[in-house]
């Protein structure tokens, strides 16, 4: 892992940062309760993430029959504002108030604007998108991307319902749920497909932690979210556009 300086320089002009990547939108997303979240831009990245929702705040527990069958860490990520820094990584807080521990490795890469950066680019108060391997609220980062102020990933969303201890899980649907979808079905994916699906879901529904991405039998993706009371499943089509959530 790149050595982290004791004193980091504060990055100036975060609002002017232009991060490279595609644009992910919600396709035909309408909700019986509220509109689906707006689309946002995202940076290209790769990595993996996973978490055990049965033991995590805001995730569906195994007792409720709501957790996809899986084994071990899987691809995903999270976005938020950088908090404390250490020699081994940093913490971030999502827009839904969930604290996430980020572990950096020798293989972790960094990006600022469209150019490669170093670990010194990560400073307290920066907005970042992290893609990597998640275990509950800990992500081992494959890539960390500094995002501009007002970016879609760290924005507050009226559609996303933050997790609150003791608050029942919200049950509602927005947009299109793939035909014949059943929880626990599909194949967990990694690599580029998982990265793009994660970016699309976090841009549309900021504040959650993605702990896995599952490809369904029709080719669409289910992006599984924890750390929020809603949504728990975001559906992304093969063009990596968000089409629905529940």
Q: What confidence score (pLDDT) does residue 167 get?
A: 76
- Average pLDDT per block of 10 residues along the chain, 246 residues long: 45 35 39 36 38 38 38 88 97 97 97 89 97 92 94 92 81 91 92 97 97 96 95 97 97
CB 74 within 8 A of CB 188: yes
For residue 150, give the DSSP letter: T
Looking up tokens 């081992």, which residue turns up?
140
CB 128 within 8 A of CB 122: yes
Q: What confidence score (pLDDT) does residue 139 get?
A: 97
Phi, psi of 63, rounded to the nearest 5 degrees: -65, -25
Global confidence as pTM: 0.73
Q: What confidence score (pLDDT) does residue 184 get?
A: 87
CB 75 within 8 A of CB 47: yes
Q: Which helix (H) or strand (E) holds 192?
A: helix 191-204
Tokens of 144: 């960390």
The sign of the CA dihedral 220, 226, 227, 230 is positive
Q: What confidence score (pLDDT) does residue 223 get?
A: 96
Pairing of strands 221-226, 233-236: antiparallel
CB 131 within 8 A of CB 74: no
Tokens of 23: 């644009």
Q: Each residue of 166-207: pLDDT tens digit? A: 777 778 899 999 988 998 899 999 999 999 999 999 999 999
Q: What confidence score (pLDDT) does residue 76 get?
A: 94
């Amino acid at each position: 892992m790149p050595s982290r300086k004791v004193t980091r320089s504060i990055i100036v002009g975060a609002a002017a940062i232009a991060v490279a990547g595609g644009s992910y939108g919600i396709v035909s997303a309408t909700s019986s309760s509220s509109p689906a979240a707006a689309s946002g831009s995202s940076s290209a990245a790769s990595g993996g993430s996973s978490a055990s929702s049965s033991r995590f705040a805001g995730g569906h527990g195994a007792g409720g029959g709501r957790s996809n069958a899986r084994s071990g860490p899987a691809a995903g990520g999270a976005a938020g504002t950088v908090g404390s820094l250490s020699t081994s990584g940093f913490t971030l807080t999502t827009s839904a108030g969930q604290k996430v521990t980020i572990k950096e490795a020798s293989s972790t890469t960094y990006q600022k604007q469209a150019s490669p950066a170093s670990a010194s680019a990560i400073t307290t108060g920066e907005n970042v998108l992290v893609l990597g391997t998640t275990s509950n609220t800990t992500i081992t980062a494959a890539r960390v991307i500094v995002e501009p102020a007002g970016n879609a990933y760290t924005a507050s969303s009226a559609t996303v319902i933050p997790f609150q201890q003791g608050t029942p899980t919200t049950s509602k649907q927005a947009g299109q749920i793939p035909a014949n979808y059943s929880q626990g079905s599909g194949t967990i994916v990694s690599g580029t497909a998982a990265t793009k699906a994660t970016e699309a879901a976090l841009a549309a529904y900021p504040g959650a932690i993605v702990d896995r991405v599952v490809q369904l039998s029709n080719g669409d993706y289910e992006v599984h979210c924890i750390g929020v009371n809603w949504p728990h499943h975001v559906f992304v089509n093969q063009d990596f556009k968000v089409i629905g959530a529940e």
